[in-house]
Amino acid sequence: MGLPPKAAFPLSLFLLLSLLLLSLVLATTTQQEEFSEELLLKPLPDRKILAHFHFQNEAPFDADSFARHHHLFPKSISQLGSIYGCSAAASSYWWFFLAYPLVFAAFCAFTLVQKFHIKSMELSFTQGRWNYERWGGFDPISSHNAKPPGVELWAVFDVPPHQVDASWKNLTHSLSGLFCASINFLESSTTYSAPEWAFQSALGSLRYGTLPREAVCTENLTPWLKLLPCRDKAGLSSLMDRPSIYRSFYHSQRLHLTMSSAPSDGSRSGIILEQTLTVVLQPNDRNADMNHVSKAKIQPSWSLSSIFGRKISGRCVLAKLSNVYLHADKGLVAQLENLHKNTAQFANNDTGPEDYRVNIGFKLSVTPKRVHTELGKDSSILYEYPIKDYKDTEQFDLGLSWEHPIVWSSPHAPFYASRFLMGSGNERGAIAISLKSTEMTQGLITNNIEERCKLQVNVLQVVPWYVKVYYHTLQLLVDERPRVLTDFVERMRVSPSEDKVSPGMMELVLQFPCEMKSAVLSIEFDKGFLHIDEYPPDANQGFDIPSAIISFPDFNAGLQFFDKSQSKSPLLSKLQEKSPVLSYTEVLLVPLTTPDFSMPYNVITITCTVFALYFGSLVNVLRRRVGEEERLLKNKDASKAVFLRRVLTKLSAKLRGRPLESTTSPSSSSSFVSPKLILKVLLVAGIAIAWQYYSQ
C-alpha cells in the first residue's frame, strides 16, 4: 500500500535534506589529511651510504571528525585504531541527530566495525644487523630505526587488562595478512611478553614480541609501499629499486602508528602513520685509477643514480612536503674544519645560502636551498633540497664527490653492548652481556671531576621457555673483577618462564660509575626437551634467543637544529625529538638436543615397502581369474604336446618310409594327459607327505 502523493513529497524532501546535512558534516574533515615524503642521505665512515626514507601520513581524529572515508590515509591502517563511535558523535552533533534519528541509526551501523583500540604500535622488518661501532649509536636514526633481525612488534592497547591478550591475538592475525608475513606466530603466549621499563609507554597494556628467523623479502615491501598515496610510481618512493635495496648491508622497513586524543605539545589530535625505510648501501667506487694507499682512505664518490639506479623525476602530487637532506655528522664536520685550518685554500660560494660555504673536503653537484646547523659547539650540518622545483624535464640527481681523504668516526653510545654464549654441551650453558665504555664516558669523567658521576643502564632480556634460566645465578663483573650485585642493581623485575605457556623475562636498572671500563652480566640456564611435534623443520640449525634491549635513559639522541623555515618538516621534528638512546644486541643461536630424525624415516620406509609387497600380492591374487588361467595353461600345454607329436610322427614316418597321416583326432590330443599319470602323481605326493609326517 503506497503513500499518497501529498505525503510522499515531504518525506522525500526530508531524506534529501538529511543526506545533504550529513555530507556537509562529513566534508568538514576530509580536507585535513596531510602527507609528506622526505629522504635523508648520510655518508658513513666505512665508505658506505645511509639512506633513510621517511613518509608521514596524518588524519584528523577528534570529536569534530568521524568520517569513515579517507583521501590519503590508508583505510586498512585506520581500522587498527580506536574508531570514533556513535556516542562521541552524538555528543558533538546532538542537534543534528536529534532532528534526524534515522540518520543517526545509519551512522551508528556504519561506524560499528571491528577495531583493536590501539594507542600506539610499531612493526619492523629487518635484514642484517646495525653496526654500532662503525655506523654510530648516538643519533636518532640508530636509536629509532636500528632494529633487530627479523620481525619486531610492540603495541599499546586502550582496553581493559583482561582484553589485552585477545586484542594482541587479533592484531597479529590482521598484520600477518596485511604484510604477507608470519606475524600470526606471535599470537601464542610463548612468544610475547609484557615489559614495563624498556619502553616509554603505558603500563599494563604493552605487548612485545619478536621473530628473529623471519625472512624479509619483496613480499613484505610491496604491501608496505601500497600504504603510500603514490606507492612507488612517483616521488621519493620511486627510488626504491628492489635489487638495490636487497643487496644492501642493512635494510629495515618500519611502520609506527600513534593515536593522540589530547597532545601535550599543542598539535592537533589525530592518527599519525610513520613509514620509514633505512638502507645502508655500498656505492660504486669511482676512484679506481688511484693507487692502493690513497684508495684505502678516500671515500667513494656517489650520486642518487649510482646507488639507486634512478633519479627523482618530481614529487608526489599528493605530498604537502617533499625534501631531500644531506647530513654531515659531528665527526665529519670536525675533520672538515681541521682540513680548512691546515690548508691554504679557502673558497666562498656566493650563489647559495648565506651560511653555505664550499669546503675542500667534498663537492656537491647541486647547491642546497637551505642549510641547517646544529646548535652547540660540536655541531652537525644538514643540507636541504626541496623537490617541488623539479619535474620530468629536469630530474633531481644529488651527487657528492670527495676531494681529499677524510677519516672520522660517528658518535657512539656510552657503552658498546654485545652478547654471547658460554659453556659447551647440550645440557647447560650461560648467557653473557658485555658492556664496554666509549669515548663519551671519558668526556663525562673530565666534566664531572668534583662530583661522582653515574650512568643508568636498562637491560631487557627475553628468553624462550625451553631455555630454563636460573635467575639466582646472576653475576656481575666490573672491570674484570666480581662485584656484589646489589651495589649496582637499582631495580629488578623477573618473570620466570612456564613450560609451553610463557617465556622468561628479566628487566634490570643498573647504575654504573662513569669511570668504569667494562662490565659483564652472566646468568646460567639449562636446555629443555621438546616434543617431537614442537621441533621446526630445521631443528639441527639451532634455536634463536631474541636480541636484548639496552637503553640509556640519561642520554637523549635528539639533534637541535635552528629551523629557519616557517613550517617544520616531520623529519626535522623527528630528528629533534628527545628520546633515550637505545641499542640491540646480537641474536643468539642455542643448539638443543634433537632426536634422530633419520630413524623414523628409515622405519617409515621399511614399513611402506613391506605393506606395498603384501598388499600388491594380495590384490594380484584377488584380481586373478583362476579358471581362465587354468584353461589358458591347458590349451598352451596341449598345443605344445600336439606340436611335439606331429614332429615325432613325421620323423618316424620318414624313417619307416610310410606315408604321413593327414589329420589327428582331437581326442588323441586331449588324451595326452592320461588318468594313469594323474594317479602316479597323487601316489608320489602321498608317499612324500607320509614320509615327512613319520620322520618328524
Torsion, Cα of 232, 54, 584, 151 (10° steps): -30
- Assign 3-state DSSP to the chain and report helix, strand, coil percentages, each to 5: 35, 30, 40
670 or 687, higher pLDDT: 687
**Angle at which helices 5-26 and 101-111 cross, to 10°:** 50
Distances (CA, A) of 371 to 68, 242, 327, 389, 637: 41, 31, 10, 17, 108
Nearest to 334 by CA among 372, 361, 296: 361
555 or 297, higher pLDDT: 555
Joined together, the cell numbers standing for residue 654 give: 620318414
What is the model's pLDDT at position 113?
A: 30
Percentage of the chain modeled with pLDDT above 70: 75
Is the distance from CB of 192 to CB of 155 less than 8 angstroms? no
- pLDDT interval class at 147 (50, 70, 90): very high
Is the distance from CB of 134 to CB of 46 less than 8 angstroms? yes
Joined together, the cell numbers standing for residue 434 give: 658485555
Cα 452 from Cα 598, distance rounded (Å): 62
- For residue range 499-546, what is the model confidence (pLDDT) as tens digits? 999 999 999 999 999 889 999 999 999 998 888 888 888 888 899 999
395 or 680, higher pLDDT: 395
Q: Name the DSSP letter for residue 396.
A: B
HEC string of 17-73 equals: HHHHHHHHHHCCCCCCCEEEEEEEEEECCCCCEEEEEEEEEEEECCCCCCCCCCCCC
Cα 323 from Cα 315, distance rounded (Å): 9
Average pLDDT over residues 96-112: 42
- pLDDT interval class at 664 (50, 70, 90): very low
Single-letter amino acid code for the residue at 318? L
What is the model's pLDDT at position 328?
A: 92
Joined together, the cell numbers standing for residue 514 give: 662513569
What is the model's pLDDT at position 658?
A: 66
Residue with the three cell numbers 615397502: 609
- pLDDT interval class at 71 (50, 70, 90): confident
Q: What are phi and psi of 573, to 5 degrees?
A: -65, -40
What is the model's pLDDT at position 579?
A: 84
- pLDDT interval class at 477 (50, 70, 90): very high
Cα 13 from Cα 2, distance rounded (Å): 17
Is the distance from CB of 278 to CB of 50 less than 8 angstroms? yes
- For residue range 596-611, what is the model confidence (pLDDT) as tens digits? 888 778 888 888 898 8
Joined together, the cell numbers standing for residue 248 give: 644492501
Average pLDDT over residues 280-288: 75
Task: Provide CB contacts within 8 A for 592, sequence distance 6+.
Answer: 426, 466, 527, 528, 529, 530, 539, 542, 543
Worst-scoring range by mean pLDDT, 32-46, 468-482, 575-589, 612-626? Answer: 612-626
- pLDDT interval class at 85 (50, 70, 90): very low
- For residue range 378-421, what is the model confidence (pLDDT) as tens digits? 788 999 999 987 776 688 999 999 988 888 989 899 999 999 99
Average pLDDT over residues 18-37: 62
Percentage of the chain modeled with pLDDT above 90: 41
Average pLDDT, the chain: 80
The two beta strands, 362-364 and 428-437, are: unpaired
Q: What are phi and psi of 301, to 5 degrees?
A: -75, 150
Residue 469 confidence (pLDDT) above 50: yes
Residue 288 confidence (pLDDT) above 90: no
Is the distance from CB of 221 to CB of 246 less than 8 angstroms? no
User: Is the alpha carbon torsion for 210, 214, 219, 225 positive or negative?
Assistant: positive
Single-letter amino acid code for the residue at 180? C
Is the distance from CB of 71 to CB of 230 less than 8 angstroms? no
Worst-scoring range by mean pLDDT, 257-266, 662-671, 673-682? Answer: 662-671
25 or 571, higher pLDDT: 571
Residue 170 confidence (pLDDT) above 50: yes
Longest Cα–Cα distance of the chain, Å, equals: 144
What is the model's pLDDT at position 250?
A: 96
Q: Tell me the whole-structure pTM to 2 decimals.
A: 0.78
Is the distance from CB of 507 to CB of 108 less than 8 angstroms? no
How many angstroms from the chain centroid is the CA of residue 160? 29
Worst-scoring range by mean pLDDT, 157-171, 531-545, 630-644? Answer: 630-644
- For residue range 422-467, what is the model confidence (pLDDT) as tens digits? 988 888 999 999 999 988 776 665 555 445 688 999 999 999 999 9
Residue 33 confidence (pLDDT) above 60: yes
Is the distance from CB of 315 to CB of 388 less than 8 angstroms? yes
Joined together, the cell numbers standing for residue 323 give: 625534501
For the chain, the distance separating the N- and C-terminal CA atoms, rounded to the nearest angstrom, is 105
- pLDDT interval class at 106 (50, 70, 90): very low
Highest mean pLDDT among 246-255, 631-640, 679-688: 246-255
Cα 106 from Cα 93, distance rounded (Å): 15
User: Is the alpha carbon torsion for 155, 158, 162, 166 positive or negative?
Assistant: negative
Worst-scoring range by mean pLDDT, 50-54, 547-551, 585-589, 591-595? Answer: 591-595
Residue with the three cell numbers 639496552: 550
Residue 62 confidence (pLDDT) above 80: no
Nearest to 402 by CA among 304, 325, 336: 336
- pLDDT interval class at 172 (50, 70, 90): very high
Worst-scoring range by mean pLDDT, 75-89, 107-121, 277-291, 343-357? Answer: 343-357
Is the distance from CB of 72 to CB of 60 less than 8 angstroms? no
